[in-house]
Amino acid sequence: MLGSLVLVFALAQAPGANDAKLTGVWSVVMTTPDGQQRETIYEFKAEGAKLTGKIHSGFGAQEIVDGKITGDSFTFATMMRMMDQERRMVTEGTIAGEELKLKRVMPAGLGPPPGGPGGPGPGPGPGSMRMPAQMTARKLGPDEARKKLAALAPPPKLPLPELQDLPDNGLAQTPPMGWNSWNKFRAKISDALVREIADAMVSSGMRDAGYLYLNIDDGWQGTRDAQGNLRANERFPDMKALSDYVHSKGLKLGIYSSPGPKTCAQYEGSYGHEEQDARTFADWGVDYLKYDWCSARMIYSTAEEQRAAYQKMAVAIQKAGRPIVYALCQYGQNGVGEWGPKVSGNLWRTTGDIRDTWASMEQIGFGQDGWAKYAQPGRWNDPDMLEIGNGGMTDFEYRTHMSLWALLASPLLAGNDIRQMSDATKATLLNREVIAVNQDKLGRQARRVLQDGKTEVWARPLAGAAWAVGLFNRGDAPAKVTVKLAAVGAEGKLKVRDLWAHSDQGTAEGELSETVAPHGAILLRLAR
């Protein structure tokens, strides 16, 4: 019955009835949460039931695959490269008079599209810009279409420097600590917000606990002036004055850019302006640069090119003559642990973007074992910024987050609203005994020393014949965790201190055994 209805419906449609309507160049304008307009161009060719074409954005062009037209409805997919994975994004559309209604759908099991409804996905890329579920497309006339397509075409590839081994810049002898705007505020940031956060860093005790870098992430950039100098947007009227303010509070200022023409939220990147931008940042008094791959992927393709692009900015920073911590953000691709130090990198991301969920934090945090060998003073693996205090996990889970990041010698970049922290958030971020593990001057990143079902033990040696040991329970019921001290690399009779309970727990010899709550962590310091 249903089958024959579908047949009748299909026969009623003349084949290719919508060819002329659909074929052409369409514009979709989206407004980002901070009020910026971003345009994507859809180039469609309809032939009967078949839809082909391309989608053009600030991230280059993507080919449409599996495009099908049924009456006034159509569907197609695009393949999107996210980190080292190809992801299939499906779009459904309908012809609605002169317009098209478009809707992103995700294949079962994949979760929301990056940046789509429900929050940003594992990023990076255009995903950093939350895409609405429903979009309306308007057809462009031939002249307008030509102009817009030309504007979105990737710029020509500029020559890159020959690879060399750059000297260590001597910075970040312990993992950088501070705050970053992205996790909580996305691109909704301003001079006023940064000043308020600076004040709160002092009044909350964050600064005195060691959180020194106040890092402005994506969303500060405006346009370039006639000489090509990058200016901040209207929300940041005077970067030098802001930097002076931040410095007057005993804090340091961080900023964000990309080796590509556009950043992940499609603001202006440093492509072709590396030296000029490094000089600008130095003039403003910037102390930290996060350099995010983003649209550079539409220009460069090989691992060597990626390294050379990071080297180019490193040399530009060196020339600018100001000590600037250099944070590489290319999501752990291309063996960056090996070459990050050779481009004077002080830290490099090892993953895609963290989200404020147990699943995301757990996957990232417990997935870092293979990176441990690259960590040492001045060179840190970066499993992304903290979500502590952002509300998506329990206070208990945030403690596990902090315990892991401390053991992993990860940068501790708070990502919450420092102006309004609960007591539990403060107790987690400001636990000085846990911070001391993170900042230990040996700079050794913890390894997983035991995995048994849902329980894990991670340990790292600390300066002065001491060890930090984390007992974790990833499961949903309390679990007993027992680990031999020999597995930790410790021996003899050792004093045990519980760093969350702030209490001495007597001594241990031979093994440690504790019951750990679901999603919980016990963090111990062992010493002679």
**Catalytic (active-site) positions:** 292, 353
Q: Which of residues 219 and 520 has its CB atom nearest to ligand GLA in the complex?
A: 219
Applying CB under 6 A, which of residues 232, 264, 313, 375 lies at the interface with ligand GLA? 264
The burial class, CB within 10 Å (0-12 / 13-18 / 19+), for 13 is: middle
- If you count them, how many residues does the chain have? 528
Among 58, 123, 254, 461, binds ligand GLA (CB under 6 A): 123
To ligand GLA, the closest distance from the beta carbon of 396 in angstroms equals: 25
Q: Measured from the CB atom, is 188 or 454 closer to ligand GLA?
A: 188
Q: In the range 147-176, which residues lie near ligand GLA by CB under 6 A?
A: none
Q: Which two tokens stand for residue 392?
A: 């998506």
> Which candidate, 121, 64, 69, places its Cα nearest to that of 90?
64
The residue count for binding ligand GLA (CB under 6 A) is 12
Tell me the closest approach of the beta carbon of residue 219 to ligand GLA, in angstroms.
7
Contact between 265 and ligand GLA per CB under 6 A: yes
Beta carbon of residue 368, minimum distance to ligand GLA (angstroms, whole number): 16
Report the distance separating Cα 110 and Cα 480, nearest Å: 34
Residues 404 and 388 sit within 8 Å (Cβ to Cβ): no
Give the residue with the Cβ less far from ligand GLA, 290 or 525: 290
In the bound complex, what is the minimum distance in angstroms from residue 255's beta carbon to ligand GLA?
Answer: 11
Taking 3-state DSSP, the helix, strand and coil percentages for the chain, each rounded to the nearest 5, stand at: 30, 30, 40
Q: Least distance from C-beta 140 to ligand GLA, angstroms?
A: 27
Residue of 239, 296, 329, 524 that binds ligand GLA (CB under 6 A):
329
Helix (H, G, I), strand (E, B) or coil at 483: strand
Contact code string over 452-481 relative to ligand GLA, x by CB under 6 A: ------------------------------
Residue closer to ligand GLA by CB (options 111, 377) is 111
Segment contacting ligand GLA (CB under 6 A): 66-74, 160-168, 263-271, 470-478? 263-271
Of residues 204 and 350, the one with the C-beta less far from ligand GLA: 350
Query: Rg of the Cα trace of the chain?
Result: 25
Q: DSSP letter at 479?
A: E
Work out whether 330 is an interface residue with ligand GLA (CB under 6 A).
no
Return the closest-CA partner of residue 460 out of 520, 371, 378, 354.
371
How many C-alpha atoms does 420 have within 13 Å on its Cβ side? 4
Closest approach of Cβ 337 to ligand GLA, in Å? Answer: 17
Shortest CB 114 distance to ligand GLA, Å: 8
Nearby residues of 148 by Cβ (< 8 Å), 6 or more positions away: 25, 27, 39, 41, 140
Of 353, 356, 382, 397, the one binding ligand GLA (CB under 6 A) is 353
Phi and psi dihedrals of 75, rounded to 5? -145, 150
| Distance of closest approach, residue 116 Cβ to ligand GLA, in angstroms | 14
356 binds ligand GLA (CB under 6 A): no
Token code pair at residue 302: 């090989």
The span from the CA of 371 to the CA of 408, in Å, is 9
Q: Which residues contact 491 (CB under 8 A, 6 or more apart)?
A: 485
Instruction: Give residues 182-221 in contact with ligand GLA (rule: CB under 6 A).
Output: 182, 217-218
Residue 124 near ligand GLA by CB under 6 A? yes
- Tell me which H or E stretch contains 34: none
What's the CA gap between 272 and 518, in Å, rounded?
50
Decide whether 418 or 430 has the Cβ nearer to ligand GLA.
Answer: 418
Print the binding letters for residues 286-315 with ligand GLA: x by CB under 6 A, - otherwise.
------x-----------------------
Least distance in Å: CB of 155 to ligand GLA?
Answer: 20
Binding segment for ligand GLA (CB under 6 A), chosen from 42-50, 244-252, 258-266, 389-397, is: 258-266
Q: Which residues of 76-110 are buried (b: 16+ CB within 10 A; e: fewer)?
A: bbbebebbeeebebbbebebeeeebbbebebeeee
| Residue from 263, 400, 410, 438 in contact with ligand GLA (CB under 6 A) | 263
278 sits near ligand GLA (criterion: CB under 6 A): no
Which one of residues 18, 62, 91, 128 is an interface residue with ligand GLA (CB under 6 A)? 128
* Binding region for ligand GLA (CB under 6 A) out of 23-31, 101-109, 194-202, 261-269: 261-269
Per CB under 6 A, the segment of 75-83, 120-128, 428-436, 455-463 that binds ligand GLA is 120-128
Q: Rounded CA gap, 119 and 149, in Å?
A: 29
CA-CA distance, 470 to 447, in Å (whole number)? 10
Q: Which residues contact 414 (CB under 8 A, 6 or more apart)?
A: 178, 179, 180, 206, 211, 385, 386, 388, 389, 429
Which residues bind to ligand GLA, rule: CB under 6 A?
123-124, 128, 182, 217-218, 263-265, 292, 329, 353
